[in-house]
């Protein structure tokens, strides 16, 4: 297998045009390649500045999870820290987790941050939304988001080999008029549902609003976790 390491977006596009298979940490495909054979050409984005940046409002798609630190919002940092083992986090990438993984532990965090992905195609790099990114399995160049006033993340304990653990991600954003909105995303099984509600008047207002979204149709145990997370993240805003 010939692995290309482009240092510019143009070079990366040329690799894709030549049929190179995108590869991040290869944590999801290595076993399959060992069984079925390796591709002739592969391309990694780890040499692109756009794909390896870690900033307060953006994150590159080739960033390995263990590099995600307190430069980014709490919800995204804690989501990354919850993935697998330390060895996995030193090789798994943001793009691989969101686009390639069935669990997509970073997806709820990206949703509540209202993140916008920039994707790389053979002819251009362009901004899209998370729905298109997942549906078309684009090559993720970077994510950019709105910086929240506060955020939180919780992953429930789960037995190894059992159903995926429940994940609840929350973030509070300020609107142009100063109004506050709480966004939430819940992974229950392999599905992710979300909702948003005003929260200027506190947790009660937010929970009443969320009850009228898809979040309100979750099982009772999941709704209990949601209530706790909503109260926790809004309590952190008291006096602000």
23-37, 136-150, 197-211, 226-240: segment of lowest average pLDDT: 23-37
Of the three residues 144, 170, 204, the one that is the final residue of a domain is 144
- pLDDT bin (cut points 50, 70, 90) of residue 37 is low
pLDDT digits (tens, 9 = 90+) for 164-191: 999 999 999 999 899 999 999 999 999 9
**How far is 124 from 133, CA to CA, in rounded Å?**
15
Instruction: Measure Cα distances from 232 to 30, 59, 106 in Å.
Output: 40, 26, 20
Of the three residues 144, 163, 186, the one that is the final residue of a domain is 144
Q: Which residue has the higher pLDDT, 33 or 76?
A: 76
Asked if residue 207 is part of any domain, the answer here is yes
Asked if residue 202 is part of any domain, the answer here is yes
Q: Which helix (H) or strand (E) holds 53?
A: none
Rounded to an integer, the average pLDDT of 207-214 is 97
Instruction: Please give the residue range of the domain that contains residue 84.
Output: 49-144
Rounded to an integer, the average pLDDT of 49-74 is 95
Contact predicate 118/144, CB 8 Å: yes
Q: Which helix (H) or strand (E) holds 117?
A: strand 116-120
- For the chain, the average pLDDT equals 90
Of the three residues 112, 144, 176, the one that is the final residue of a domain is 144
For the record, the structure tokens of 172 come out as 């509070």
Contact predicate 153/74, CB 8 Å: yes
Within this chain, do residues 70 and 112 fall inside the same structural domain, yes or no? yes
Asked if residue 17 is part of any domain, the answer here is no
Q: Looking at residue 108, which CATH number applies to its domain?
A: 3.30.465.10
Instruction: Measure Cα distances from 63 to 8, 54, 55, 89, 94 in Å.
Output: 16, 8, 11, 10, 6
Asked if residue 220 is part of any domain, the answer here is yes
């Amino acid at each position: 297998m010939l692995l290309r390491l482009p240092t510019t977006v143009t070079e990366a596009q040329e690799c894709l045009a030549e049929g190179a298979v995108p590869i991040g940490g290869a944590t999801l495909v290595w076993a399959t390649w060992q069984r079925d054979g390796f591709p002739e050409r592969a391309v990694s984005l780890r040499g692109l500045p756009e794909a390896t940046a870690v900033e307060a409002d953006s994150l590159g798609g080739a960033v390995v999870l263990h590099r995600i630190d307190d430069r980014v919002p709490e919800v995204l940092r804690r989501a990354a820290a919850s993935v697998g083992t330390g060895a996995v986090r030193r090789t798994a990438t943001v793009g691989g987790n969101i686009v390639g993984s069935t669990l997509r532990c970073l997806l709820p965090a990206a949703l509540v941050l209202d993140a916008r992905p920039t994707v790389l195609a053979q002819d251009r790099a362009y901004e899209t939304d998370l729905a298109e990114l997942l549906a078309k399995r684009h090559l993720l160049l970077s994510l950019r988001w709105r910086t929240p006033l506060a955020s939180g993340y919780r992953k429930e304990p789960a037995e190894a080999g059992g159903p995926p653990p429940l994940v609840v991600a929350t973030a509070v954003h300020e609107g142009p008029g100063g109004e506050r909105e709480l966004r939430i995303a819940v992974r229950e099984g392999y599905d992710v549902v979300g909702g948003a509600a005003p929260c200027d008047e506190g947790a009660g207002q937010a929970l009443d609003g969320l009850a009228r979204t898809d979040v309100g149709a979750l099982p009772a145990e999941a709704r209990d976790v949601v209530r706790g997370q909503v109260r926790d993240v809004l309590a952190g805003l008291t006096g602000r």
